[in-house]
Amino acid sequence: MRPSAVPLLLALLLPAAAHAQEAELRIGYLTQEVEAPPSLSTPDEPVPDAGLMGARLAIADNATTGRFLKQRFELDAVTVAPDGDVETAFRDLAAKGDRFVVLNLSAAAVARLTKPAQAAGVTLLNARAPDDSLRAEGCAPNLLHVAPSRAMLADALAQYLVKKRWSKWLLVVGRRPEDALYAAAIRRAAKRFGATVVEEKRWTAESDVNRTAEAEVPVFTQARAHDVLVVADEIGEFGEYLPYRTWEARPVAGTQGLVPTSWHRTHEQWGASQLQNRFKALAHRPMTPADLDAWTAVRLVGEAAAQTRSTDPAALATHIRSPGFAMSAFKGVPMSVRPWDGQLRQPVLLAADRSLVSVSPQDGFLHPKTDLDTLGFDQPETGCKPH
Amino acid sequence: MKRLLPALLLLGLAPGASAGTIYVSNEKDNTVSVIDGGSLEVVDTIKVGRRPRGITLSKDGGQLFVCASDDDAVQVVDLATKKVVHDLPSGHDPELFALHPDGRQLFIANEDSNVVTVVDVPTRRVTYQVDVGVEPEGMAVSPDGRWAVNTSETTNMVHWIDTEKRATVDHTQVGARPRYATFSKDGRQLWVSSEIGGTVAVIDAATRKVTKTIGFKLKGIAQDKIQPVGVRLTDDGRYAFVALGPANHVAVIDAQTHEVKQYLLVGRRVWQMDLSADQKTLFTTNGVSGDVSVIDVEKLSVVKTVKVGRYPWGVAVKG
């Protein structure tokens, strides 16, 4: 879109909003169906509307608040087919007037959208891709990250393991590219918090070892002395087969076992049970991390609109990134945006399948500004260069 | 040390002697602890519904209303027999409430359904409901009965319900996650705590605008751990006490100048507070440590800690 087209578009939109005597803010939600590779080791079916229902709940929450401020919120949710074009779908949303678009997309798709979004004056809210590259060389002034990065997840786990004095790790890495990225974050976290990866092993089996795991895993996990097995297997190809089958009696953590995550169904502190209840009433299923990230993304915009009493997208985008902005999101401390890479600061939950074990940052991991900045890339380490 | 103890005990007893009876709801025990104001010991435990949180006394002091959140009920406890006599229709997930000075209308915040339910206590009927923001929590009624205010935790507002019109007529924005509201004795000010914002707002009831925002600073405690929850004002307009949640301190504020005078160390996760009838003693519930701190208001010091049930939440003192 040429720059001259923007004022025209705004001029077209404004009378409509004035007519209703309510300011309207449209928020886009963009996701793409993926043909999921078989995640062999987990019995759980993928949740098709994970993320979307979180966004829907947040729009309802925004609207409840907006009623008192004469602000109306609409969600434009688009699901692109597996072979569809995400960029075209994005341009359609921008043409509709959406100046905030929540992305439940892969890192590659997010990277493709940053340029067109900049041209259209759209702020992107990444509510899924944990890739640290998007917060470093792939960063953009109009790209915010609501989902925690892999570095944040790994740091959250590392702090807890170090606190427990389980500081010798056996790292088991799957064969997919994202597993390598997860493993890199684990290695970085070990170094930061004084743990050691004593040995690294690659799980390369393409076959399902469901029936043979009891024989395979003990042999596979014979390694140098370690306190804990850390696994990097994001899609769950084999990770669930590891606990209880290791050569030595060692806990499993990482992508399976004790998992660092933005949300968990057993989290109830700091008012979280209220959000869980509201979500269940809407979606008739437990809230997933994708739902929470999408909820937070949409609420971020609503919260900025309430705080500034404005629906001007540019003003809201500036406010969200300003040092004075903070919002509460059921994890006990205010969340805000890191100015250096657009990442939302947040505590990270550490959960087992049916129990919330802990919440990081752990006590004693201190930071001069906020302890939340002990998770992920801090300002001096950022790979995001100003544009 | 041994010789000091009796003296300390005597000091502890002095303010308590006229403190009446203290009722404390234990959120994770489904009970209400009864503390004798004279001996400052737990003398009885009343079985109530699931997840009891907000509690308040009836106007005549003969009954205790208990928000049994997980039972979706406000229970009425007869304090003579110490038994739950009946439920009031409360709406879904009641957390906190406030009694109108007429002693009849009970304003209940329904956290899960974004409404305030008004119940007529004697007839046990819902009189009306008012839509408010997301996750309504704090409730207060002005001393003249004109206003009922509710704070909504995710909308971050104070909603002003005109009790004549039975509708909201104004909304005041405050800091993140407003939890508790209370009017000054003269009704001119409303004090509202914001747990995540870490502040207390003083609102002028006439204009419904925030006139002062009070912040807190404690040495050695991270700023984001300072989370104001309960607020109590002395009737004489001298002090405001603010419970700072996981910061484990109660802030003492000069209610005239709005300056924080000092911080009193209490138990862990200090939540709600109430004053004795003579205003000489303040009681705080400390959720994580499972006890009640007794504060001498004259000396501004903690004089005793009383062990109660699991996760004490609300407290109400009968004169």
Report pLDDT digits (tens) over A304-345.
Answer: 999 999 999 999 999 999 988 989 889 988 899 999 999 999
Q: How many domains does chain A have?
A: 2
Q: List chain B residues with CB under 8 Å of A326.
A: 176, 196-197
Judge: A371–B198 Cβ closer than 8 Å, yes or no.
no
Give me the long-range contacts of B295-299 (CB less than 8 A, separation at least 24).
Answer: B295/B241, B295/B250, B295/B264, B295/B266, B296/B11, B296/B14, B296/B15, B297/B15, B297/B234, B297/B239, B298/B15
Residues pairing with B87 in the sheet: B75
DSSP character string of B80-137: TTTEEEEEEE--SSEEEEEE-TTSSEEEEEETTTTEEEEEETTTTEEEEEEE-SSSEE
For residue A361, which of A351, A376, A343 has the smallest C-alpha distance? A376
Domain closes at, from A203, A238, A260 = A260
CA-derived radius of gyration, chain B: 18
CATH number at residue A158: 3.40.50.2300
A197 shares a domain with A134: no
- Alpha-carbon distance of B18 to B15, in angstroms, equals 7
A155 shares a domain with A134: no
Range of the domain at A207: 151-260
Residue A364 belongs to some domain of the structure: no
Judge: B93–A61 Cβ closer than 8 Å, yes or no.
no
A212 shares a domain with A126: no
Any idea which of A210-214, B187-191, B300-304 has the lowest mean pLDDT?
Answer: A210-214
- Alpha-carbon distance of B132 to B156, in angstroms, equals 11
A106 shares a domain with A30: yes
- Amino acid letter, B107: F
Is it the case that residue B42 has pLDDT exceeding 90?
yes
The whole-chain average pLDDT of chain A stands at: 92
- Alpha-carbon distance of B98 to B117, in angstroms, equals 11
A167 shares a domain with A144: no
Q: List chain A residues with CB under 8 Å of B171.
A: 68-69
Among A8-17, B110-119, B197-206, name the most confident range: B197-206
| Average pLDDT for A297-306 | 96
Q: How do residues A270-283 score in pLDDT, each as one tens digit?
A: 889 889 999 999 99
Residue B11 makes CB contacts below 8 A (sequence gap 6+) with B296, B303
- Amino acid letter, A250: R
A269 shares a domain with A237: no
Residue B319 makes CB contacts below 8 A (sequence gap 6+) with B20, B61, B276, B277, B278
Judge: A61–B134 Cβ closer than 8 Å, yes or no.
yes
ipTM of the complex: 0.76
Give residue B13's pLDDT band: very low, low, confident or very high (50, 70, 90): very low
3-state secondary structure of B28: coil
Supply the pLDDT for residue A38.
Answer: 74
Tell me phi and psi for residue B306, to 5 degrees.
-115, 120
CA distance A62 to chain B (A): 8
A208 shares a domain with A88: no
Pairing, β B239-243 against β B231-233? antiparallel
Which of B210, B224, B268, B271 has the most A C-beta neighbours within 10 Å, making it the best mutation to test the interface with A?
B224
- Alpha-carbon distance of A156 to A27, in angstroms, equals 31
| Average pLDDT for B71-81 | 95
Supply the pLDDT for residue A127.
Answer: 98
Supply the pLDDT for residue A1.
Answer: 37
Give residue A14's pLDDT band: very low, low, confident or very high (50, 70, 90): very low
- Alpha-carbon distance of A172 to A198, in angstroms, equals 11
What angle do the packed helices A272-283 and A52-66 form, to 10 degrees?
Answer: 110
| Average pLDDT for B287-298 | 97
Helix (H) or strand (E) holding A8: helix A5-19
Q: Give the chain B residue whose CA is nearest to the CA of A346.
A: B224
In this prediction, what percent of chain A has a pLDDT beyond 70? 94
Judge: B173–A64 Cβ closer than 8 Å, yes or no.
no
Residue B3 makes CB contacts below 8 A (sequence gap 6+) with none
A307 in B contact zone (CB under 8 Å): yes
Partner-chain residue, chosen from B112, B157, B224, that has the shortest CB–CB distance to A277: B112
Supply the pLDDT for residue A40.
Answer: 78
A157 shares a domain with A126: no
Which of A295, A328, A372 has the most B C-beta neighbours within 10 Å, making it the best mutation to test the interface with B?
A328
Give residue A15's pLDDT band: very low, low, confident or very high (50, 70, 90): very low
Judge: B171–A370 Cβ closer than 8 Å, yes or no.
no
Is it the case that residue A208 has pLDDT exceeding 90?
no
Supply the pLDDT for residue B19.
Answer: 60
Give residue B179's pLDDT band: very low, low, confident or very high (50, 70, 90): very high
B245 in A contact zone (CB under 8 Å): no
Give me the long-range contacts of A305-311 (CB less than 8 A, separation at least 24).
Answer: A305/A25, A305/A62, A305/A66, A305/A69, A305/A71, A305/A73, A306/A65, A306/A66, A306/A69, A306/A71, A306/B155, A306/B156, A306/B173, A307/B173, A309/A69, A309/B173, A310/A23, A311/A17, A311/A23, A311/A24, A311/A25, A311/A71
- Alpha-carbon distance of B202 to B222, in angstroms, equals 24
Give residue A146's pLDDT band: very low, low, confident or very high (50, 70, 90): very high
A183 shares a domain with A281: no
Any idea which of A8-12, A68-72, A206-210 has the lowest mean pLDDT?
Answer: A8-12
In this prediction, what percent of chain A has a pLDDT beyond 90? 81
Domain closes at, from A346, A362, A381 = A346
Supply the pLDDT for residue A17.
Answer: 42
CB A339 within 8 A of CB A345: no
- Tell which A residues from 309 to 328 touch B, by Cβ distance under 8 Å: 309, 326-328
Burial class (CB in 10 A: 0-12, 13-18, 19+), A319: middle
- Alpha-carbon distance of B273 to B270, in angstroms, equals 9
Supply the pLDDT for residue A46.
Answer: 86
A118 shares a domain with A140: yes
Residues pairing with A201 in the sheet: A172
Partner-chain residue, chosen from B133, B196, B222, that has the shortest CB–CB distance to A68: B133
DSSP character string of B201-241: EEEETTTTEEEEEEE---TTS-GGG-----EEE-TTS-EEE
Q: Any idea which residue has 């909201």 for tokens?
A: B168
CB B84 within 8 A of CB B49: yes
Is it the case that residue B94 has pLDDT exceeding 50?
yes
Q: List chain B residues with CB under 8 Å of A271.
A: 135, 153, 177
Q: Which domains does chain B have, with CATH numbers?
A: 4-318 (2.130.10.10)
A35 shares a domain with A144: yes
Q: List chain A residues with CB under 8 Å of B224.
A: 333-334, 370-372
Partner-chain residue, chosen from B173, B176, B225, that has the shortest CB–CB distance to A328: B176
CB B287 within 8 A of CB B24: no
In this prediction, what percent of chain B has a pLDDT beyond 90? 87
Residue A183 makes CB contacts below 8 A (sequence gap 6+) with A171, A173, A200, A232
3-state secondary structure of B19: coil
Residue A378 belongs to some domain of the structure: no
Is it the case that residue A13 has pLDDT exceeding 70?
no
Residue A353 belongs to some domain of the structure: no
DSSP character string of A233-262: -TT-SSGGGSTT-SSS---EEESSSBEEES
Extract the tokens encoding A120. 């259209």
B155 in A contact zone (CB under 8 Å): yes
What angle do the packed helices A272-283 and A289-308 form, to 10 degrees?
Answer: 110
Judge: A65–B153 Cβ closer than 8 Å, yes or no.
no
* Beta-carbon count within 10 A of B43 CB: 11
Tell me phi and psi for residue B14, to 5 degrees.
-55, -55
B91 in A contact zone (CB under 8 Å): no
3-state secondary structure of A79: strand
Q: List chain B residues with CB under 8 Å of A65.
A: 133-134, 152, 154-157
Q: Give the chain A residue whose CA is nearest to the CA of B172.
A: A68
Q: List chain A residues with CB under 8 Å of B135.
A: 271, 274
Is the torsion defined by CA of A314, A320, A323, A324 positive or negative? positive
Residue A174 belongs to some domain of the structure: yes
- Determine the distance from the C-alpha atom of residue A332 to the mean position of all C-alpha atoms in its chain, rounded to a whole number: 18
Is it the case that residue B99 has pLDDT exceeding 90?
yes
DSSP state of A155: H
CB B264 within 8 A of CB B302: yes
B213 in A contact zone (CB under 8 Å): no
Residue A144 makes CB contacts below 8 A (sequence gap 6+) with A123, A124, A125, A126, A297, A300, A320, A321, A337, A342, A343, A344
Among A287-291, B194-198, B217-221, name the most confident range: A287-291
Residues pairing with B152 in the sheet: B136, B157
The whole-chain average pLDDT of chain B stands at: 93
Supply the pLDDT for residue B18.
Answer: 55
Q: How do residues A218-265 score in pLDDT, each as one tens digit?
A: 999 999 999 999 999 999 999 999 999 999 999 999 999 999 999 999
Supply the pLDDT for residue A387.
Answer: 57
- For A84, B6, B300, B305, the CA distances from B13, given in Å and listed in that order, are 76, 10, 15, 12
Give residue B3's pLDDT band: very low, low, confident or very high (50, 70, 90): very low
Is it the case that residue A3 has pLDDT exceeding 50?
no
Secondary structure tally for chain A: helices H, strands E: 10, 12
Residue A41 belongs to some domain of the structure: yes
Supply the pLDDT for residue B286.
Answer: 98
Judge: A370–B197 Cβ closer than 8 Å, yes or no.
no
Q: Taking chain B, what is the end-to-end CA distance rounded to the nearest angstrom?
A: 34
Q: List chain A residues with CB under 8 Å of B159.
A: 68
Q: How do residues B138-169 score in pLDDT, each as one tens digit?
A: 999 999 999 999 999 999 999 999 999 999 99
B133 in A contact zone (CB under 8 Å): yes
Any idea which of A145-149, A262-266, B223-227 has the lowest mean pLDDT?
Answer: B223-227
Is it the case that residue A133 has pLDDT exceeding 90?
yes
A132 shares a domain with A28: yes
Supply the pLDDT for residue B92.
Answer: 83
Domain closes at, from A191, A225, A260 = A260
| Average pLDDT for A59-65 | 94
